[in-house]
Chains A and B, each alone.
Chain A
Amino acid sequence: MKKIALSVIAATAVALPIFIGENPYLIGIMISVLMMAALSSAWNILGGYAGQYSFGHAAYFGAGAYTTLILLTLYNSLNPLVCMAMGIVVASIIALITGSIVFRLRGHYFGLASIAVAEIVRLSVLNLEFTGGAQGILLSDVSLWGIDLNSKNPFYYGMLLVLVVTLSISQYLRTSKTGYYLQAIREDQDAAASLGINLAFYKNKALLISAALTSILGSLYGLYIRFIDTSAVLDLRLSIEIILTAIIGGVGTMWGPVVGALLLVPLAEMLRSNLLGDLLVKAGLVSETSGIGVFLKENLAHAHVLVYGIITVLCILYLPKGILGLFRRVK
């Protein structure tokens, strides 16, 4: 049963661009969904399994995007995959420096330090010359093995592949020694240490896996969008969206982040493009000239983070285990 469901989902995901191939807007949204699902899954390995909440995953995303684009503007003939690997190296160095210092401490220090590190990275990139500063980096044409990377479909499949890899790693971790150790750390650090678990080592391991995957997604995003600046790939807002996606979908579950992304990304898109307001007005539910109508059409577009916030509050109050928690009976 589970296998059939998985096959159907996989087949749909693979065939989707064929059906909506004519519509680059829809493909763009699907790429965003896949990317946010993968980002949130990668975050979930550290935040959901090990219980170490990172509020600075944008740093690893940005490390991937910036490393890749800087290298490609300097050496045009470089293979993008090599650039991606270099991005992983940079992200891993940032992760190791953060983790080796902060994971000696317990409590909320890691959360606080992760924000600090992400801000240090953002401000450095903003003020350094070789990173393009506030102007960002623009990449001209890029190709891989003769595949034209100016179209969207290769990136749809790229993001899908990284999502599958991330979910596979999540699934493997869940049933392996490392996964059990991470969950033990999340539940009770004293108990975990007394059972022979080296807390700092396993937290660092989770952080490294999570940061490397996040960096790959950053590289892919950079190649896809071909223009990046700090507000696009290093912003605190991105870090928060990654966390909210996991929380709303179901922290610590394998499919929670995917469900969260499927719900939140299209919702954010509807708000941004005023689709929601338009729909409600067209359906005759609210009058266009009323206060609510004006608010929906004029202001809601700027407020998708507000809507995230409201959904999160409702989730924490009524669905503390996320949407997936609804379907999971307490044992």
Chain B
Amino acid sequence: MIQHLLLISHVSKHFGGNVAVSDVSFAVEEKQIFGLIGPNGAGKTTLFNCITGFFPTTSGDVIFDNKKINTLRPDEVCKLGMARTWQRVKPLGSLTVLENVMVGAFSITNTTREAEIIAREQLQMVGLTDYTTKSAGSLSIGLKKKLELARVLATRPKMLLLDEICGGLNHTETDIILNIIRNIRIKGATIVFIEHDMKAVTSICDRIVVLNSGEKLAEGTPEEITNNSDVISAYLGGGHHA
């Protein structure tokens, strides 16, 4: 039997009369790299916020590792092994790069010494060892994205939700990040990631869900998605008939 690590079941999120996510369902299997794509305002980040406990769902359930998590707080969700990054990076600006990652590591250890060891490992993995004593606020956007990645990895997550981790990066930087993500999967983590860059998504994902105006438009392998006429028209504009 296939193991579903994450199950999104008929999740809706309304803000007043505004429907941001409407009856979305899908399942993510263990060790998958799962893509969540869609035009601006499709509800991708809102769905992430519902999954990680930042927004309560209006209806529907989020099941992670056989536990219902949509009623939990963000820190409880993290403790269960689900970590996320932010579309707009959130470095702990006045702390150093090393300290930022240590904060993540403290979710699995109580001692400062061990936290530092874990943090250094993760910084090595994303290639930030030269910046350990720099203040996080002073890094460039590319390095901040790497820092986000190192910080959530330090919580040793079973599942990683990456919100536009390649956004604002050039091709070389994107390739580096994608390589890191492949390595993370090899180490056993499952990854869901939101991305605009279609090339990045199709090159790395096993399976993709497309959201449009809060609804699920399509689901399938990268090949199926790139040939889906609904998806093409959603991306190129509703009035366009390809």
Contact = CB atoms under 8 A, between A and B. Distances in A.
Contact of B75 (A175, A199, A331): A199
B74 A193 contact: yes
Interface size on B, as a range, is 35 or more
Nearest to A200: B73
Given A180-B102, A188-B92, A331-B134, A194 B110 contact: no
A198 B73 contact: yes
Contact of B151 (A177, A195, A198, A330): A195
B103 A190 contact: no
Interface string A160-183: 000000000000000111001101
Interface residues of A, number: 21
Of the listed residues B54, B75, B110, the one surrounded by the most CB atoms of chain A closer than 10 A to its CB is B75
Given A176-B112, A180-B102, A191-B86, A196 B93 contact: no
Interface stretch (B59-67, B76-84, B171-179, B188-196): B76-84
Interface of A: prevailing SS: helix
A197 interface: yes
A195 B134 contact: no
Contacts of B134: 331
A175 B113 CA distance: 10
Contacts of A330: 135, 138
Interface in B89-124: 90-96, 99, 102-104, 106-107, 110-112, 115
A187 B136 CA distance: 11
A194 B76 CA distance: 9
A7 to B, nearest CB: 25
Contact of A181 (B73, B76, B86, B103): B103
Contact of A177 (B54, B83, B106): B106
A182 B223 CA distance: 47
A331 B133 contact: yes
A51 to B, nearest CB: 10
Contacts of B90: 188, 190-191
A192 interface: yes
Contacts of A181: 103, 106
A203 to B, nearest CB: 12
